[in-house]
Chains A and B, each alone.
Chain A
Amino acid sequence: MKHALYNKLRFKLISITVAVSIGPLLLLGFALYYQFSNLYKERIEDQILHLARSQSSAVDVFLRERTSILGMIVETQSFEDLSKQENLSRLFWQINRRAEGLGLVDLGIIDRDGNQLAYAGPYNLKGLNYYQQPWFDEVLRRGKYISDVFMGFRQVPHVIIAVKGACDTNCWILRATIDSEIFNRLVRSAQVGTAGDAYIVNRDGIFQTGPRFEGVILGPSNITPQQFGEGTMVLEKKQGGGDTRYVGGTWLKEGEWLLVISQIAGQEAGWLSRVRNTATLIIVTGCLLIIIAIVLISNTLVRHLEETDLQMNELNAQLIQQDKLAALGKMAAGIAHEINNPLAVIGEKAGWMEDLLSEEEFKTSENYKEFATSISKIEEHVDRARKITHNMLGFARRMEPRLDDVDVNRVLEQTIDILSNHANINDIDIRKKFAGQLPVIASDQSQLQQVFMNLINNSIDAIGSDGMIEIETALDKDHITASIKDDGPGMPESIKKKIFDPFFTTKDTGKGTGLGLSISYSIVEKLGGRITVEGSQGKGTTFVVSLPVVLPEKK
């Protein structure tokens, strides 16, 4: 039951420590990972924004540049000049020679009625009427126009840029076709990584440049341009497989086109997941180490506690025993003293009667023998009572032990000598296993002898007859131990608990006072040592007396 208590304590200890140490670690891990992934996301978004802005401005610049060149032409040339075919052709030839990268495909001059008066370029478009074209009005109204991309005759994407010439009433238009492949290339340069895409769509979501994946130029895209507000904006789209596609868009060409940059985070998220795996590995290893350490520490702690508790219990038991002995000693002394005086009187009176009985006149008396026996019986029992009270007084004696130079081996030897006759009669073999060199200690020789006498006598009594007593001495660090081991019947636990109690005896009434062991106990205690008993029923008994090695003062 006690063990369960310790197990519960251990469990509590472990679970609380694990909770408070691993909890913050996990929290920290998750927080760091969360922050990190946020940062990562921000970085991707930043990248996309930046790319979108720079590319869109590049395309804008491209368009504006060409519009400006056309504007410059209409500002500096008169309608009359330009509407002459040879003049326009020359201009077209000059521009293309000077600026090849302009992507100029053709030029045309259109009067206010929509008639193309002059045309320079690879196709014969002279005389075409544009009046019905939707952009025609817009140019006249706004001064310039840039079309969406369309496939020209050569199956190459083009845009048309048209500007209005300077006029009051007779307005005219300079129209140019621009090869959009040039800004196509510009946009394509933003297609980074293996999954990044960049393209332009118009307001209806039609591709104005060729996308890298899924879709063709002038085909429909899955972009809904209305999702993007003014300026630049990044959207997140979850995709299958845990990847996220970041789509950023910037309006350009006065809000008609949308430059779209998209990037799949999953591709670079491989890197992020590697970070996650590393972090998880570190945290798991850390947790394991913490748990192992906590379990080990808790175990040691609880074991230590258990040991300390055990020692405390032993100490408590000893204290209780001492208290019991002290109280009982006082009582015994009181009783013994009160009984001694009447006992002395009884003894003397009986003696006196005995003295008188020896006189001649009584010797012939009829009941002389009866009297004599009775008196000697009285004396015998007074003597018995005397022994008991003297023992009780001896037990209560609070005399400071007298310190002699004591050789424990020699004291034992002497005691064994005294008792050897008694042992021999009962066929008990006393064997000695003495340690070779025991230090001489400061102790009380006669009291020690009394203790050993008591213990060996008890062993002899316990064996009864035919047995063996083994007496062993040893030096154990700062203690000398003398153990007296018999192969008698031993004793059950219930008796073992009480053997040091005063007046507890297992011997027949009148044979033991029950004081021997408690006197021995208090003697050894006063000498700074301990007596312990080992063994169990059926296995003999061993008494161990351990005495501190206190070296005698040099005289």
Chain B
Amino acid sequence: MHNFRVLVVDDETDFLETLVKRLNKRMLDAKGVESGEAAVDLLKREVFDVVVLDVKMPGGMDGIETLREIKHIQPLAEVLLLTGHASVETSIEGMKLGAFDYLLKPMKFDDLLMKMAHAFEKKSSHDKKIRDAKIHELTRYPSRVFDDE
């Protein structure tokens, strides 16, 4: 498994901290924030491959709103939804908004890891396609390397 950057968003501090520690222990670069707002702030500054997002958070932005923002700031970041109650409707809405998958809390850690790995795979292949396209474009029109960014 490749190492990748993970952002965990959950208002339950104990859960958040432990999860981040465990992910770090598995050689993933994981960070945790306790609210949607904090997540949005951080995403504006740093790039993450996978975001694990609790859809039910009291006060402030809820999971769906945060998801919208995330997809706005970093469209390529894959989002895994964690849901405390089985509101499949919320999850379906999340999936429609571009979330990769969802998990029911409490989930098995191995399931989480597996889905994260899948999400990252998808993201990598996506990235690769973009890179290939860019390379293809650059080999044809080298001057475009100065165009933007």
Contacts and interface: CB of A to CB of B under 8 A. Distances in A.
Interface of A: 333, 336-337, 340-341, 343-349, 351-352, 355, 382-383, 386, 390, 393-394, 396-397, 399
Interface in B1-58: 12, 14-15, 18-19, 21-22, 25
Contacts, number: 59
A296 to B, nearest CB: 58
Given A345-B15, A347-B106, A349-B14, A340 B84 contact: yes
B131 interface: no
Contacts of A341: 12, 15, 84, 105
B89 interface: yes
Given A336-B85, A340-B106, 13 more contacts: A333-B85, A333-B86, A340-B85, A341-B15, A344-B12, A344-B105, A347-B106, A347-B109, A348-B18, A351-B18, A352-B21, A355-B21, A397-B88
Nearest to A359: B25
Interface residues of B, number: 19
B141 to A, nearest CB: 45
Contacts of B88: 397, 399
Contacts of A349: 14, 18
Given A351-B109, A386-B106, A393-B86, A344 B22 contact: no
Contacts of A383: 108
B104 A390 contact: yes
A352 B24 CA distance: 11
8 contacts: A333-B85, A337-B85, A341-B105, A344-B106, A345-B14, A347-B106, A351-B109, A399-B88
A344 B15 CA distance: 7
A344 B104 CA distance: 10
Contacts of A355: 21-22, 25
A345 B88 CA distance: 22
A463 to B, nearest CB: 32
Contacts of B22: 348, 351-352, 355
B25 A382 contact: no
B45 to A, nearest CB: 27
Contacts of B15: 341, 344-345, 348
Nearest to B107: A344
A390 B108 CA distance: 13
Contacts of A352: 18, 21-22
Interface in B71-116: 84-86, 88-89, 104-109
Contact of B86 (A344, A347, A348, A396): A396
A365 B107 CA distance: 30
A397 B85 CA distance: 9
A531 to B, nearest CB: 22
